[in-house]
A and B are shown apart, each in its own frame.
Chain A
Amino acid sequence: MRSPNPEPEALPSLATGFAALLRRDLLLAWRRRGEAANPLWFFAMITALVPLAVGPEPALLARLAPGMVWILALLGTMLAADSLFREDYVDGALEQLVLSPQPLWVLVLARVTAHWLVTGVPITLASPLLAGWLALPAGGVPMLVAGLALGTLTFCLFAAVGGALTVALGAGNVLRPLLVLPLYVPVLIFGTAAVARALEGGDGSAPLALLGAITAVTLAIAPVAAAAALRVGIDG
């Protein structure tokens, strides 16, 4: 219940709420930096397994590299997404967030941003190195990095929707990735196509622009959807 005449100063602005939650989440991630590095580990280890599985010929690896790096980035961000809302749900902090005067979607956006900074950005930064392991020609690297920067953010946004939908269902639920993986299809298509175009000597900016458009649309709808799903989970 809000008071009928809330004083303007009493309500922190959207930006303040966003920044406060972002700072808290990043601080928490910093205190557990070992755990926060897990997605990156995962990303690197599976990349190392690819040549062992398909053979070390550079030509074959180069052919597979854009797709493999994209899929591993997808799995890496998803692996960590289980903790997006779970702990806050278990210890009751989530209810406080829902009751806070800030719109819930702003707080979801802050949480997703923190998650992206901790998982998506390191994966994006590490991708040139790992693409090198897979013998990706240097011509494809700029598009790979640009695409992954946008793509991992979109993955994190969708993962938030999945995490919010299953937050009340208990830990270790395999349902969450299944719900949102179909939504990843366009991102994967445009992301890998941008790299492929660049490798053919063409211009990959058209698929990259489409990927950016998808990121923008997702940025608009996913926080709202995740907020709605969190309310359902808390009420239910």
Chain B
Amino acid sequence: MAERRWQWFHRLASPPGFYRVSGRWLPWLAGTSLALLAVGVVWGLLYAPPDARQGNSYRIIFLHVPASFLALAGYYVMAAAGAIHLIWRVKLADVVMSAAAPLGAALTFLALFSGSLWGKPTWGTYWVWDARITSMLVLLFLYLGVVTLRQAYASRETAGRACAVLALVGTVNIPIIYKSVDWWYSLHQPATIRLTAAPSMHPDMFQPLVVMILAFYLFYAWVLVLNVRAEILVRERRAGWVRDLAGEGESE
């Protein structure tokens, strides 16, 4: 029984197995994430009421908050994959990690960019050293470190393990960095409106936000799987199953 239960795991954790299984997920992930994105964007831009104080500029929240969520969650995905690769030498985990790093960096950039453009009408400037923005900037640097370290190594195996160590060190430090930046900001608190929505956000604004957060999670999963599949093909291009796969397409 126990043997049987683990079989699916081993199949999923092998690159060809994951490639085959994930092919079946793709239409679902693509469909649900795109549909939810469309619903969330239309709802947030056209139907949600304007904010009493910030007017329409607050509509940036529907991108800013989900992007920030995924930027942070993505770091933990990356670090967890790195740990699995480092400890159990699961090849697929390294593929996931290599896919998660640039994806997380892109989402962090989006969070920063949207926060910065939101700041202009709200605070009258593109950049303030707000706690959240500063933490996001540090997170972007952490991501870029992992991305560049991977590119610096010629050997894929070495690069993967070095990046895993770096990501794990970053993981331990992220809570400390976030707390310290929050604390630092409370020392120098300028008189501004906080970017965060009030805890009791109006349901008409909150509901589209939830839709967008859900949409971003699905989008993240979709893009991660796409990247993992592409990376698997590149890494296993000399394997028999990839050659067979290429042959199938050819005969049509």
Q: Does a CB–CB distance below 8 Å link A and B in the complex?
A: yes
CA distance A165 to B168 in the complex (A): 13
Asked whether, in the complex, the Cβ of B138 is within 8 Å of the Cβ of A165, the reply is no
Asked whether, in the complex, the Cβ of B158 is within 8 Å of the Cβ of A235, the reply is yes
Encode contact with B along A81-122: 1 for CB under 8 Å, 0 otherwise. Answer: 000000000000000000000000000000000000000000
Chain B residues whose C-beta falls within 8 Å of the C-beta of A52 in the assembled complex: none
Asked whether, in the complex, the Cβ of A193 is within 8 Å of the Cβ of B162, the reply is no
Interface size on B, residues (CB 8 A): 30
Asked whether, in the complex, the Cβ of A232 is within 8 Å of the Cβ of B162, the reply is yes
Asked whether, in the complex, the Cβ of B162 is within 8 Å of the Cβ of A229, the reply is yes
Q: Which chain B residue shows the least CB distance to A190? A: B180
**B176 contacts A by Cβ under 8 Å:** yes
Asked whether, in the complex, the Cβ of B138 is within 8 Å of the Cβ of A185, the reply is yes
Asked whether, in the complex, the Cβ of A225 is within 8 Å of the Cβ of B187, the reply is no
Q: In whole Å, how far is B165's beta carbon from the nearest beta carbon of chain A?
A: 5
Q: A169-B153, A221-B172 are in contact. Are A182 and B177 (CB under 8 A)?
A: yes
Chain A residues whose C-beta falls within 8 Å of the C-beta of B183 in the assembled complex: 189, 193
Main secondary structure on chain A at its contact with chain B? helix
How many interface residues does chain A have, given as a range? Answer: 20 to 34
Question: Which chain B residues in 214-234 approach chain A with CB under 8 Å?
Answer: none
Asked whether, in the complex, the Cβ of B176 is within 8 Å of the Cβ of A165, the reply is no
CA distance A169 to B155 in the complex (A): 11
Chain B residues whose C-beta falls within 8 Å of the C-beta of A50 in the assembled complex: none
**B86 contacts A by Cβ under 8 Å:** yes
Q: A185-B177, A233-B158, A235-B158 are in contact. Are A179 and B165 (CB under 8 A)?
A: no
Looking at the complex, which of B49-57, B59-67, B140-148, B193-201 is the stretch in contact with chain A? B140-148
Chain B residues whose C-beta falls within 8 Å of the C-beta of A210 in the assembled complex: 180
Closest 4 interchain pairs by CB? Answer: A236-B158, A186-B180, A232-B161, A182-B141
